[in-house]
Amino acid sequence: MFQVIIIIGIILILLILFMIYRVITLVDIARKKKGEGDPRFSRISSSNKVNAFLFIAFFILDGGWMAWYSYARFDEYVLPVASLHGHDYEGIFWITMAITMFIFIVTHILLFWFSYRYQYKIGAKALYYPDNIKLEVAWTILPAIVLALLVFTGWRVWTDITDPAPEDAEVIELLGYQFAWTARYPGRDNKLGAFDYRLIDADNQLGMDFTDRANFDDIVVATGPIYVPKGRPVLLRIRARDVLHSVFMPHFRLKMDAVPGMPTRFSFTPDKTTQEMRDQLNNQEFNFELACTEICGRGHFSMRREIIVVEAEEYQSWVNSQKSWLSNNPDYLSNVPDELKELALISAGISENEASKASINTNSSN
């Protein structure tokens, strides 16, 4: 309640100041301090010069503050790069930023200076400047050349980033849904199994199709950190289960939409482990993260997963320590064709005792 009173008080003070300003302006016009008898002066007052001066003051103060803040806080809003393609991405980004900022600064210097220099004055006449062919050709051709160079350079970098991943890339599937991410890793066969949205249920949230033998050893990580190896290409196969989501890994300069019914992909190669980045930032609590950059519903804020980058050997040890999804859910053996059941038991690492229990449970439920 106290905060509401403060806000109302501030609004009233601003209204009072505005009314005082208006009264002073009207009185100034009524007095016609200078140029009395000239009907044009009835439209202006001393605030004309004040506003012209304020343009220059605002430009200097605000421009100076922006320049200081950009320099002083640079490390806080520019994240370090942790992928190979990210360095090329950063290069073209800062080239584009330098060119656009130069043009931005020059045009705004002219904008604010002209507002001061050419403020309204009695008897002043505007300069009539109908055309200048050389000037028009220059400001058409030069920007066209600069933009063409930026576009083609950016296109080259983008095509390099989105080139097909190497055949030996580590494949990880990311499924976005309201409101979380689930990761699926291929098992020892290094192949992700097929999926079908019609097979999605409370447990099989990815719709894994167990008529495909590649699914038998697949690993599903629904909670906890997502592990990726340093120095090895990683291919993300991305899809969404319900609405539009977006995979965003800022330190890897990675962003790709997750679209229902239209799988997408993005490949990258991490070049720093989590520990190396912690040492670089002098922050032992740092973690890479995966976030969603589409407003996908009320729980959008919760779509955050930690990503841990480790050396290739440690990554392989982590993968080998994980149990397959089918071994954690042996009841789904009933969905495996009879001729593939033995292979499923071996690939998924399911013991005969677990298979017997699953069979009993399945029969009981039937």
Q: CB count, 10 Å around CB of 107?
A: 10
Instruction: Looking at the structure, tell me whether residues 278 and 336 fall in a common domain.
Output: yes
Instruction: Looking at the structure, tell me whether residues 227 and 340 fall in a common domain.
Output: yes
- Kindly report the pTM of this predicted structure: 0.75
Query: Does residue 123 surpass a pLDDT of 80?
Result: no
Q: Rounded to an integer, what distance in angstroms lies between the CA atom of residue 166 and that of residue 154? A: 22
Select the more confidently predicted residue: 189 or 254. Answer: 254
In a domain, 359, yes or no: no
Instruction: Looking at the structure, tell me whether residues 82 and 176 fall in a common domain.
Output: no
Instruction: Looking at the structure, tell me whether residues 219 and 92 fall in a common domain.
Output: no
pLDDT at 356: 61
φ, ψ of residue 207 in degrees (nearest 5): 70, 35
Phi-psi domain of 215 (left: phi exceeds 0; alpha: psi -120 through 50; beta: other): alpha
In a domain, 267, yes or no: yes
Q: Write down how long the chain is.
A: 366
What confidence tier does 7 reach under pLDDT thresholds 50, 70, 90?
confident
Instruction: Looking at the structure, tell me whether residues 319 and 258 fall in a common domain.
Output: yes
Question: How many domains, the chain?
Answer: 3
Average pLDDT over residues 107-121: 88
pLDDT at 357: 59
Average pLDDT over residues 203-222: 92
Instruction: Looking at the structure, tell me whether residues 61 and 209 fall in a common domain.
Output: no
In a domain, 126, yes or no: no
Q: What does pLDDT average to over the chain?
A: 86
What confidence tier does 364 reach under pLDDT thresholds 50, 70, 90?
very low
Average pLDDT over residues 239-243: 93
pLDDT at 246: 95
In a domain, 266, yes or no: yes
Query: Does residue 341 surpass a pLDDT of 90?
Result: no
Instruction: Looking at the structure, tell me whether residues 143 and 195 fall in a common domain.
Output: no
What confidence tier does 309 reach under pLDDT thresholds 50, 70, 90?
very high
Question: The domain containing residue 22 runs over which residues?
Answer: 11-45
Across 58-62, 84-88, 132-136, least confident range: 132-136
Query: Does residue 365 surpass a pLDDT of 70?
Result: no
Instruction: Looking at the structure, tell me whether residues 21 and 79 fall in a common domain.
Output: no
pLDDT at 351: 65
Instruction: Looking at the structure, tell me whether residues 158 and 194 fall in a common domain.
Output: no
pLDDT at 288: 95
In a domain, 357, yes or no: no
Across 61-65, 86-90, 160-164, 221-225, least confident range: 160-164
Residues 6+ apart with CB under 8 A from 341: 333
pLDDT at 349: 74
Q: What percent of the chain has pLDDT over 70?
A: 89
Instruction: Looking at the structure, tell me whether residues 218 and 185 fall in a common domain.
Output: yes
Instruction: Looking at the structure, tell me whether residues 41 and 109 fall in a common domain.
Output: no
pLDDT at 122: 75
pLDDT at 331: 87
In a domain, 322, yes or no: yes
Query: Does residue 359 surpass a pLDDT of 90?
Result: no
In a domain, 111, yes or no: yes
Query: Does residue 360 surpass a pLDDT of 50?
Result: no
Q: Rounded to an integer, what distance in angstroms lies between the CA atom of residue 86 and that of residue 161? A: 9
Select the more confidently predicted residue: 54 or 357. Answer: 54
Residues 6+ apart with CB under 8 A from 47: 21, 25, 28
What confidence tier does 363 reach under pLDDT thresholds 50, 70, 90?
very low
Instruction: Looking at the structure, tell me whether residues 209 and 282 fall in a common domain.
Output: yes
Residue with tokens 């992909």: 265
pLDDT at 118: 85
226: domain CATH number is 2.60.40.420
In a domain, 356, yes or no: no
Select the more confidently predicted residue: 9 or 209. Answer: 209
Pick from 31-35, 45-49, 146-150 the range whose average pLDDT is largest. Answer: 146-150
Query: Does residue 198 surpass a pLDDT of 80?
Result: yes
pLDDT in tens, 262-294: 999 999 999 999 999 999 999 999 999 999 999
φ, ψ of residue 184 in degrees (nearest 5): -125, 130
